[in-house]
Structure 1
Amino acid sequence: MREGGLIFYQKKLTPELKSLKKALKKKPQTYNPLDFTYTEKKIISHIEKETEKNNLNNITRTNAYLQFFHEYPEIEWTFLAHMVSRNAGWNMTDLKGSFLSRLLSLEQQRYFFSFLERSNWLIFQDAYPQLLLYKECKKREENYFHLLSHFGVSYFMDVLWNDYLQNKSNPIITVALIINEQNYIENRVVHHPEYYATLMESIEFKLQELLELNQILFPYYLKDEINVTGLPVHHFASLEERILLGKQLYYLLFDPQYFGKILDFATNQPHTGSRKDFNPQLFNHIIEESAYERFQARLENCQLIAGSKKIYSPRLKDAWQNVQQKPAEKGDWYKDWKVINYLKPVVPKDTTVDIYNEYCEGLKKLELAVLAKNAFNK
């Protein structure tokens, strides 16, 4: 049964969820910053500086997530955030790559980048203070999560982090962070008038969905070669679908079949934003073709046609400059305790689909779209 965009399950709540329901129904406590201790003020200042330092661009964010995971592997969301953020970087540089740069105007490229960058920036500036507060709790052996409200973090996460300190449920805190991040960007980006009208409803965005270009890819080493697993992204405008996808990606990423191999890739392959990072056979971060060359087909069965130039996939630093973001819109997305129904486990999605082949088919469709555009413009 659905109501107000949420799924309300008929099944009874587990004892743990009943406890969370009780806590979420309480009124949030308010704290006067003037009453903060010297140590608390020092912690706040440190976290603000570290968040600003690491929130410069997609590369710094992605690296910060991985570094935190290496330090605190129990916070599994940080590895998921790292891998999804890698994908965001690839999507950003695609806009300046061989195909989309020929299909989208400069203004359209900037719109898409702004959408991706704002989402990436917002999630980090909300999540990273939470992670650093957890780090302080561990280091000082004291609970500092009452400081979450100072950083504008939802009361939902206040309750969930305090629950985590007691119960140490890694799946619960991971899914809670997924729920939080997707609700956090729901009205700030996805349905924000500045983006929704120009992106979500645009022909270009629909074109990307139709061509099946939206996949989250998790590269990993298989023997001496890089393979990929992952899932397709559908119905991005739906909050419910994004949360479900996040949960399925979490289960896939930490599947023993893949986890160690994906972590090995992430640890040993620096994130540059170029798809060359995981497929140097198809992509290069250097433009191999001349600006005067006529665009020609180069892909066949996921491979380059003999003698063809590689697909240009720039590094992020060569594609986009750092953006000075305006402050995040204020307000707590949390309104109803029934959101905890999203914490219930889902059946992991079948991962037997050849996601890389699906991605290659999308690339081929893009190539055909460029060829068709060139023919039309003759």
Structure 2
Amino acid sequence: MADPNKYFRKGSEVEISSNDEGFRGAWYAGTVIRPPSARSKKVLVQYRALMADEAGKTPLQETLDVVQLRPPPPREAHPRFEFSQEVDARYNDGWWEGVVMEVLEDGRCSVFFRGTREQLEFGASELRVHREWVNGSWVPPLEVEETVSIVEKMKPSKKMVKDKFSKGTLVEVSSDEDGFQGAWFAATIIDQLTKNKFLIEYKTLRNDDDTDFLREEADILHIRPCPPDTFVVDSFNLHDEVDALYNDGWWVGVISTILKRKRYLVYFRGTNEEMEFKHSDLRLHKDWIDGKWIMASRVHNLVTHLHLSKMREVSPKSLHSSTPDLKLNLMMD
């Protein structure tokens, strides 16, 4: 885990993940006013653009946990965006994570936000490559940018599909439905419907009338093998990234406090919740990338890494009641 005192000194520029309703899921520029100390991991920050008063003269200040902060990410001098690329879109003074769905004229892009299934247009200057701050490093790093799209990077080969996702195989499946986003659920592959689509049956989720286990179609990008037993460890450390078993699914979080008797508090950034779990309901978080299980600290040479449990459920346009002068389309299923 990166030393917070190194990156969050007094006066340091940072990006802030706010927990307030209507702002959750975006990153905002700010400055450290009071850094963390040996007695407290809390940091006092001041937003650059968000104001505390209606007159817009007093910058907003908040005391936050270090897990809600990160340094400003690096940016390419002349970025080029392509279909299916993970990006951050600047809207209402914040950066919101989305996916490029169409490259338009004059470098403009149509960006899809998974959480709300909305699509907005942005100019190239309003976009940047999406990066994650992992153990003190940016992923992907600026110096090894690759041009391959995230969708192509995550698609498994034909041989992998045959070996890993055959009929009857136990897998984990993620869902885009409200209330289930960001979690992985155990399921069994019932049949392969097309090249990249499968019929699966969940192991714990029931259908609407509770007569049987839920069956549904899932594409290959929402399926992964069950993680190996090597994910189980004797103990977890502070700030370890983990998956927590909750409501029959595995949700990614961060160990925020180590309690007695092998119990832990886990912080979920996407919902700003902190919950207590016993050791047996936790496992180290890894990402299934390019046919391999990758620890967060070892993904630096990959094009990106997906944090599905951090799916944003907040719409960029919900920050203010005014309607933006942007094209808005609803994605059709």
TM range, normalised to the smaller chain?
under 0.3
Higher helix share: 1
Higher strand share: 2
Largest Rg, 1 or 2: 1
TM-score, length-scaled by structure 2: 0.23
TM-score, length-scaled by structure 1: 0.21
Instruction: Name which structure has the greater RCO, CA cutoff 8 Å, separation 6+.
Output: 1
